[in-house]
Amino acid sequence: MTKKKSLNSEEEIVYNFIENNSYNGLTITDLVTLTKKPRSAVRIALAKLEGAGKVSCRKVGMAKIYNLNQKAIKNNSSNVRLGINFIMIFVIAIAFSSFVLADLIHVSNPQLLTSATTYERSPAVSYYSNNYWVMYTKADKTGPAIRNVSYNPDADNYTIYYRHVSDLGNLGDAEESALSISTNTRANGFTQRNIKSLVFQNKLFLFASGDISSPDASIYYYSNEYGEWSGPYLFTEGFAGENDPAIPNAMYENIEVTTDNTWIYVLGKNSTGSYLSTWNTTHYGSNNTLISSSNESKIYYANNTLYFITVDSNNISIYSASPSINPEFSLVKTISSSNTQDVPDILYFNQTYYLLSIEEDSISKFLQIRTSKNVINWTDPKIVTWARYDSDKDNNYTEDGDHWVDFEAQIMSRRFHKYILCIRK
């Protein structure tokens, strides 16, 4: 009689770390650290899992990287069609290992968080009430909504959806909910395609903007307190009877937000520039023009400092200011590249700054990360391995199935792990 294999066997423990917790793309050293098992036991477990076809191994330099079986991943992703947006999440594997090649940062295989026939975009993430909230917008047009000559998703109206869960690793299993007031009470002519979120004074705030060509291109916001949503409120109306405009003649198609727990900083962006306003929910502060161009930009607070980051073709410029009602920025660093750079994001984590950007060379676009201890001295950029899709590894990124992680990329942290959340197209 064959003895039944224990559920606590080494191979099942290893497999659970790779599959269930989304930590795929790990070295043996990573798995030894996570499982707290001897290296010899981890090697035996991996050999058994490879033999069973559950995991696969690829060599990068001198190291072996273990992932879920690629055929299984390809079968699970067979419904992905070019032109429809899906929200993806990656785990940056260097959270548990010092193994980083000179030109690569290893992340997990992408975990699909949504799978819809409508167009999805603009993920926003906040930690509120002991839960991670991921909010995003869905086009009102039902699917298949593929960008082509007969359908332009930029001209569609959008409804806000959200998920919340205590552990980001389980986000894909969290129930999706529609924010009904984002449709029922949405202003006429307000497309509401772009959103950003933050937590301020024990409330979850969700800011929304439309399209510059839509009838209403203002900034609105929703708030959640004790699980109850309210809004939308026109951001320029103010609170407590005040009608001071935060951004005069606000017509913005993109927004960024951050807070120092005293002020909320709202960055409105359009083709003429990036404009910063301060607000504390009772009255408005300053309104500053930070740049007078359509360059992509980001506002971020960390380490008692307010940062403004902007991209101008081949250059990423970083400005800093002391947080206040009227912050005054000064240039700290300009990072130049031979590649075209776009869409920056930044994270301060464990005394290190991580700068994420999309870059484009003569072949394709890809995600890169630089790191710094002081915002002045940055490492050379390292390519995020799974951000440049090549399913059959033939260096041809134009074939069916070779999807690029398109845009809206964000880098964030949870405990001792770092994540990239983005849109896959």
Dump pLDDT digits (tens) for 76-128: 433 222 334 556 555 554 433 333 334 556 565 566 677 667 788 888 889 89
pLDDT at 346: 87
For residue 241, the model assigns a pLDDT of 30
| CATH code assigned to 10-68 | 1.10.10.10
- 3-7, 164-168, 212-216, 369-373: range with highest mean pLDDT: 369-373
Say what percent of the chain tops pLDDT 90. Answer: 21
Model confidence band, residue 71 (pLDDT cutoffs 50, 70, 90): low
pLDDT the model gives residue 257: 94
CA 18 to chain centre: 21
Residue 27: band (very low, low, confident or very high) from pLDDT cuts 50, 70, 90: confident
Give the contacts of 327 (CB within 8 A, at least 6 positions apart).
265, 276, 278, 286, 288, 306, 321
**% of residues, the chain, pLDDT over 70:** 66
Contacts of 207 (CB under 8 A, 6+ apart): 195, 196, 197, 219, 220, 221, 235, 255, 257, 266
Rounded Cα–Cα distance for residues 253 and 219 (Å): 9
Q: Judge whether 209 and 250 are in contact, CB under 8 Å.
A: no
Q: Which pLDDT score is estimated for 81? A: 28
Identify the CATH class of 77-424.
mainly beta
Predicted TM-score (pTM) of the model is 0.72
Q: With a cut of 80, say whether residue 156 has pLDDT above it.
A: yes
Q: What is the pLDDT of residue 283?
A: 81
Termini Cα distance of the chain = 51
Q: What is the DSSP letter of 44?
A: H
Q: How sure is the predictor about 38, in pLDDT bands with cuts at 50, 70 and 90?
A: confident
What number of helices (H) and strands (E) belong to the chain?
Answer: 5, 27
Polymer length in residues for the chain:
425
Question: CB atoms < 10 A from the CB of 233, how many?
Answer: 14
Q: What is the pLDDT of residue 209?
A: 87
For 418, the token pair is 């770092």
The identity of residue 33, as a single letter, is T
Q: Strands, DSSP E only, in 11-151?
A: 55-60, 63-68, 86-92, 104-105, 111-112, 120-128, 131-139
The predicted pLDDT at position 173 comes to 78
How does 261-282 read in b/e, with b if 16+ C-beta sit within 10 Å? eebbbbbbbbeeebbbbbbebe
Task: State the number of CA atoms in the 13 A half-sphere of 117 facing the CB.
Answer: 5
Q: Give domain limits for the chain.
A: 10-68, 77-424
d(CA 169, CA 173): 9
pLDDT of residue 168: 72
Between 242 and 37, where is the model more confident?
37
- Give the whole-angstrom CA distance, residue 159 versus residue 178: 7
Strand-pair partners of 319: 308, 331
Q: Is the pLDDT of residue 364 over 90?
A: no
Query: Rounded to an integer, what distance in angstroms lies between the CA atom of residue 181 and that of residue 220?
Result: 12
